[in-house]
Amino acid sequence: MESVYIRYGSLKGIMVNSSQIPYFVLTAYLDMGYLKYLYFVIVLMLYIVIVVANAFLIVTICMKRSLHEPMYVFLCSLLVNELYGSAGLFPFLLLQITSDTHTISRSMCFLQIYCLYTYATVEFSNLAVMSYDRYLAICCPLHYKARLTSCKVALLIALVWLYSLIKFLVSTFLTFRLKLCGNVIDRMYCQIYYVTKLACSDTTVNNVWGLFASFVTIGVPLIPIMFSYTKILRVCVNGSKETRQKAVSTCTPHIASLLIFTFGCGFEIFQSRYNMTSVPRILRIVLSLYFVTIQGLFNPIIYGLRLSKIRQICLNVSFFTFILCK
């Protein structure tokens, strides 16, 4: 069986079977010295804010009966996904910041791959379902409740999660079975593309499946998004001022979230496929973490400020808390 000699920096070289590499080395981390403790505190505070903000809105939606509507149920699913995605990155990131040897075990690497890729798929699919919800609310208000019953809402959410979890289970398995001839990944976390580049076995099946999975991941959610907003735009152009105001107030958070997420994923794909050495290293690091961190941070703010029901409940809770503290 083919063997490979692995060496990185001050790490001691080890002789391993090419299909049994025990760990990967992540080379994108800077030599931060004592500043690593400052970065640790910043990242920790960011993670706490994301968890508290998303958990607060989830509890608010679950506890308030007036928010038990399809739009808020889909939003709750989106916020749960923010907690899921951030849990796949931040604890690992905090550990790596304080570590002197930036390594990750083979099993943890593939677990992280599965978590982050399913997070991205659930996010985009959930946004697609939310666009369909907005289409029904604005274009078919009289049939809204009949078309989006509680059972249909639960079925749509279940499909979003199961579709994502099963699809990337196949992708992760196909990557895991590859024979690798290296263990150095120039990233801050594991990615399928970079692990596949280390393969010294045939990757034809992985490449074909990757193209199919990419098409399905982008194409399937894009169809309801394009359909919904085409219909909404047509109604806004031909509808009354009240209809346009309703569309703007309820669609603005969704469009903002969709654009932010699309930009983050687009840059991540672009960065992994093309040479980005001309871009400052610190900027590349920030933007590589963008697609996971930005959604969890800004979705609670976007939806909390723009959706009147949630905004009013948050104000009431804040006022009540202030009175108790007094």
- 3-class DSSP state of 8: strand
pLDDT at 324: 44
**pLDDT band at residue 317 using 50, 70 and 90 as cut-offs:** low
- 3-class DSSP state of 30: coil
* Cα(92)–Cα(96) distance, integer angstroms: 6
Question: 17 with 106: CB under 8 angstroms?
Answer: no
pLDDT at 48: 94
pLDDT at 268: 77
* Cα(326)–Cα(321) distance, integer angstroms: 9
For residue 312, the enclosing domain spans 30-181+190-325
Query: What percent of the chain has a predicted confidence (pLDDT) above 70?
Result: 85
pLDDT at 102: 84
pLDDT at 82: 94
Query: What percent of the chain has a predicted confidence (pLDDT) above 90?
Result: 24
**Residues β-bridged to residue 196:** none
* Cα(300)–Cα(80) distance, integer angstroms: 11
Per-range mean pLDDT, top range of 12-21, 122-131, 217-226: 122-131
pLDDT at 51: 94
12 in a structural domain: no
177-231 confidence digits (pLDDT tens): 888 888 888 888 888 888 888 888 888 898 898 888 888 888 889 999 999 999 8
* Cα(89)–Cα(83) distance, integer angstroms: 10
208 in a structural domain: yes
25 in a structural domain: no
pLDDT at 146: 87
100 in a structural domain: yes
- 3-class DSSP state of 101: coil
22 in a structural domain: no
Per-chain mean pLDDT for the chain: 82
- Comparing 36 with 122, which gets the higher pLDDT? 122
| Range in 93-97, 193-197, 275-279, 281-285 with the lowest mean pLDDT | 275-279
Domain count for the chain, please give it.
1
* Cα(150)–Cα(141) distance, integer angstroms: 16
pLDDT at 160: 93
Q: What is the DSSP letter of 180?
A: B
**pLDDT band at residue 128 using 50, 70 and 90 as cut-offs:** very high
Taking the model in full, what pTM does it have? 0.85
Strand stretches in the chain, DSSP E: 3-8, 11-17, 23-26, 103-105, 184-185
18 in a structural domain: no
pLDDT at position 284 over 90 = no
Give me the CATH number covering residue 104. Answer: 1.20.1070.10
**pLDDT band at residue 1 using 50, 70 and 90 as cut-offs:** very low
11 in a structural domain: no
Instruction: Note the Cα 279 to chain centre separation in Å.
Output: 24
160 in a structural domain: yes
Q: Which two tokens stand for residue 253?
A: 């958070």
pLDDT at 75: 92
Q: What is the mean pLDDT of residues 238-252?
A: 79
